[in-house]
Structure 1
């Protein structure tokens, strides 16, 4: 199992957790939670694959990935009496998810021969669109579009670092991916704590 595969599966699990916690906040039943967890984990990657013309979709016939969605939903159900601060839990699982999926999305695009700019865009789409769809399903204002949230911006910062490191330095690929993940998560957490925002249009 490659390092890219490891962070892909970890990202799926983290987004499944985030999606299931969102479903709990919206007071959905366990089936609704599973649907939202699935959409959160697979939505961005599915859109990326469709745009890149990847067939079959990367999650088709991947039983381990599907099992991780079930596991994330089950964990959320089992700890429902032990996790009181849903917003904090969702925030940290989602921050980890976008970091992992930004790296995965960029690398997946690069492997298809996509240029650096569009690989960065594919990374942002992979990281953010699953959560956007999950937010819509749960009736929340999507984090991707919410004022005061450096969400896609955090993905862009980490993704750009990945692109530049890959272009100008001869590091091991796992180090490139790790730097991307860490930077996305760090920017997301720091911007939230310091209440950093982008200028209004």
Structure 2
């Protein structure tokens, strides 16, 4: 792709596209960090990065019945490869590593929740199911990566508000949209809300009651 073509591509971007691509990059980093935690090689890191970045969105698009969004998207693929290379080059101690993994995952949750809702609404899904598609977009990539690495998914761990924070953030996003406020501002507010709720729930050990 030539430089003028890249400039044209960026001019056509909407805020939701930026959110989506940031989410892909951040979740790819999360997947690569998980691979390091399980002492995988760089190929294994690529597999987990790809699964984390694309898993939830792929399932969402299949359920909606639309073209899978990452097909023929060279920018998205480049972001995943870049994330793997960055994680490969950076070396941190265990405490810094665990913090990085948690924060990148939290940011990815916020980004993919909103991007998933927007893509679902744009393709005729009603608001309730759009929120559910947003939750799925945000959580099922990590679920798939954890299953591949034979690890208990964060989605199912006791004491983790994971999908719940996505559900709250997505619901708030729909309510703000009904108020006809600025769409980009709504997205930003809800991404920040999801990230903060995830951090606070982990810090204060807030979790759902057992069944």
Give the alignment's TM-score, normalised by structure 1: 0.97
Q: 2:44 aligns with which of 32, 44, 61?
A: 32
1 CA distance for matches of 2:149 and 2:136?
Answer: 20
Cα RMSD, aligned residues only: 0.8
Query: Considering only CA atoms, is the larger Rg found in Structure 1 or Structure 2?
Result: 2
1:126 maps to 2:137: yes
Using the TM superposition, give the Cα deviation of residue 83 of structure 1 relative to its aligned residue in structure 2, in angstroms.
4.6
Structure 1, unmatched stretches of 5+, are none
Using the TM superposition, give the Cα deviation of residue 138 of structure 1 relative to its aligned residue in structure 2, in angstroms.
1.4
Structure 2, unmatched stretches of 5+, are 1-12
Q: 2:202 aligns with which of 179, 192, 197?
A: 192
1:181 maps to 2:191: yes
| 1:120-168 per-position Cα deviation (integer Å, ceiling 9, x unaligned) | 000000000000001111121100010000000000110000011111x
Is the 8 Å Cα contact of residues 19 and 131 (structure 1) preserved in structure 2?
yes
Partner of 2:4: none
Summarize the alignment of residues 153-168 of structure 1 with structure 2, pairs less than 5 Å apart: 153-167=164-178
| 1:7-43 per-position Cα deviation (integer Å, ceiling 9, x unaligned) | 1000000000000000000011000000100000000
Partner of 2:80: 69
SS in 2 for 1:82: coil
Is the 8 Å Cα contact of residues 26 and 139 (structure 1) preserved in structure 2?
no
Moved more, 181-190 or 82-91: 82-91
Partner of 2:161: 150
2 CA distance for matches of 1:23 and 1:104?
Answer: 25
Partner of 2:15: 3
Give the alignment's TM-score, normalised by structure 2: 0.92
| 1:45-69 per-position Cα deviation (integer Å, ceiling 9, x unaligned) | 00000000012x1100000000000
2 CA distance for matches of 1:77 and 1:127?
Answer: 24
1:102 maps to 2:113: yes
2 CA distance for matches of 1:125 and 1:87?
Answer: 24
| 1:83-108 per-position Cα deviation (integer Å, ceiling 9, x unaligned) | 53222111000000000000000010
2 CA distance for matches of 1:43 and 1:133?
Answer: 7
Length, aligned pairs only: 198
Cα gap change, 1:175/1:31 in structure 2, threshold over 3 Å: closer, same or farther?
A: same
Instruction: Provide runs of 4+ in structure 1 moved above 4 Å.
Output: none
Partner of 2:5: none
